[in-house]
Structure 1
Amino acid sequence: MTQRRGADLGTVQETLLIPLYGRAVESRKKDPILTDPRAEEIVAAIDYDFARFDGLPSLLGTVLRTSLFDGWVSEFLAAHPTGTVMEIGTGLNTRFERADNDRARWFDLDLPDVIELRRAFFTDTPRRTMIAASVTDETWADTVAAHSTGPYFFAAEAVLPYLTVTDVRHVIDLLATRFPGSTLALDTAGPGHFDTQDQHDALSKVDARMRWNCAGPARLAEWRPGAEVLASHTLSGLPAPMYDALPATTQEMLTGLAAQRLPQVEDYRLSLVHLL
């Protein structure tokens, strides 16, 4: 039997295991929202108590978020086939395996302990490079700028809410200054979601807590004059084409969720922003 690998990760970094497990669980379903055989393989190879997340509604939420981000990346690459995609806080994400077009340049950025774990499952290629650094460290921007061309798409999935507002502003300024005209996909946690973290089904199982309370992506436009919010959705209000392609049981669940208008759902937004 192959020996399983431990996941020696920092407090916030541990949260990357939640969406990883969500994709693995979803991939095994008869009618999945997305398939991710690599996630299944990685979960099987890591020595971690994933069972603590079994049956949690948030697992489906992570899959829906990832699927929406996948769609945005695919749309970007359809318009810019040789553009550059960068995963901020990449974790053990496998978006490259799902959305790559065989022409784009990819970068996977995360903290050193995460990249060390990631290298057990992924390797660099001429078009795909891992970078071990904090997103707040400006040195990564030098590496990306020196080894790629625009346009640029930055995917920050389940990353920025764990930073302080000061650090988030620094990151937004860094992206807009070094890569003007870039597109940023991100999630934001408003008061209804932020203030219920201790009761959250998944976050209550780990020690990490969000630090940036943001009412919505319009705040980013206020910080960066000229920035434009291209799209913004809640998990209960996904784009119609994506909703229509979901399994019927998921559609029914989301319709019921939308009718309840729960603050912890309505205050969590997935947005696409054009930065100038």
Structure 2
Amino acid sequence: MDREKPLLGTVQETLLIPLYARAAETRKEHALLRDPHAEEIVACLDYDFGRFDGLPSLTGALLRTLLFDEWVADFLSAHPRGTVVEIGTGLNTRYERVDNGLARWFELDLPDVIALRRRFFTDTPRRTMVASSVTDEAWTAEVSAGGDGPCLFLAEAVLPYLDEADVHRVVDLLADRFPGSLLALDTAGPGFFDTQEQHDALSRVEARMRWYCPDAGSRLTHWRPGTETVASHTLTSLPPALLARLPLPYRQMVSALTAQRLPQAEGYRLNLMRLP
């Protein structure tokens, strides 16, 4: 396969960061996760991935992915025929990692991303790619059709790049169309948001976050009364069971970060919410 230059919008380019994080991690002896498909995709893309080599934030992206994977696994354990919707799917391979053979999957992203994604992934009867902005309610009809089970929506490294009004619109849309669903999202606090220009990875691309939220529980509950916080973690307060499964060097790294209590690390949260 000839190497292809990814023609992506400014924000969409950020999907290449977690893709490279998974590919680079796969080559390590004691890896957080292994994703040979990410390695294959990186090898096929004409892009300067070297700008991200060795960046500490790649580990943060991997820890976030592991926690989101765990939330999906827990959801599918409770609802084997449920529906998983990845908002801003990018070039993620979560289906390959945690699909249970029964669930419905939808992978939603903007048209330029889906066009690139179709080079490496194929729709199946249970797995559907959808080219749409998350703020356009038209995509919800496709998810609603043919299924009435519970839904888990994953917005990994997506919503902070929207304006607050658009984030509010997305929350309203999900709550109106899929009441009682779960929403996993990451949120940046002011300490993280205000240091984007110095961030090791974001400083190497043009995209910048536009929405920060110190407390997703109170913000979403204010927008949609009855919203419940199921879980909320920083990268230094991961669930003990997940932390125990990490290779020793990573457990030591998390312990060192916990002791430092850096505002950037403490202000970035991974949240699982139940919408009313």
Task: Give the shorter-chain TM-score range.
Answer: over 0.9
- The code of the aligned residue for 2:263 comes to P
| Aligned mates of 1:216, 1:69 — CA distance in 2 | 19
2:240 corresponding residue in structure 1:
240
For 1:65, what is the secondary structure of its paired residue?
helix
Pairwise CA distance, 1:194: 0.3
1:174-215 C-alpha deviation (Å, 9 max, x unpaired): 001100010000000010000000000000000000000111
Matched, 1:150 2:160: no
1:77 corresponding residue in structure 2:
76
Q: Which runs of 4+ in 1 moved over 4 A?
A: none
Unaligned runs of 5+ in 2: none
Matched, 1:122 2:121: yes
- The code of the aligned residue for 1:232 comes to S
Pairwise CA distance, 1:149: 2.6
1:271 corresponding residue in structure 2:
271
- The code of the aligned residue for 1:257 comes to L
1:203 corresponding residue in structure 2:
202
1:96 corresponding residue in structure 2:
95
Count of residue pairs the alignment pairs up: 275
- The code of the aligned residue for 2:210 comes to R
For 2:149, what is the secondary structure of its paired residue?
coil
1:127-171 C-alpha deviation (Å, 9 max, x unpaired): 000000000000000111113332000000000000000000000
| Aligned mates of 1:169, 1:3 — CA distance in 2 | 41
- The code of the aligned residue for 2:252 comes to E
TM-score by length of 2: 0.99
| Aligned mates of 2:188, 2:147 — CA distance in 1 | 32
Matched, 1:60 2:59: yes
Unaligned runs of 5+ in 1: none
1:3 corresponding residue in structure 2:
2
- The code of the aligned residue for 2:65 comes to T
1:15-63 C-alpha deviation (Å, 9 max, x unpaired): 0000000011111111111111110110111110000000000111111
2:167 corresponding residue in structure 1:
168
1:262 corresponding residue in structure 2:
262
- The code of the aligned residue for 2:267 comes to D
For 2:250, what is the secondary structure of its paired residue?
helix
Pairwise CA distance, 1:7: 0.4
| Aligned mates of 1:252, 1:143 — CA distance in 2 | 44
2:253 corresponding residue in structure 1:
253
Q: Percent identity?
A: 66
| Aligned mates of 1:97, 1:229 — CA distance in 2 | 28
2:186 corresponding residue in structure 1:
187
Pairwise CA distance, 1:111: 0.1
TM-score by length of 1: 0.99
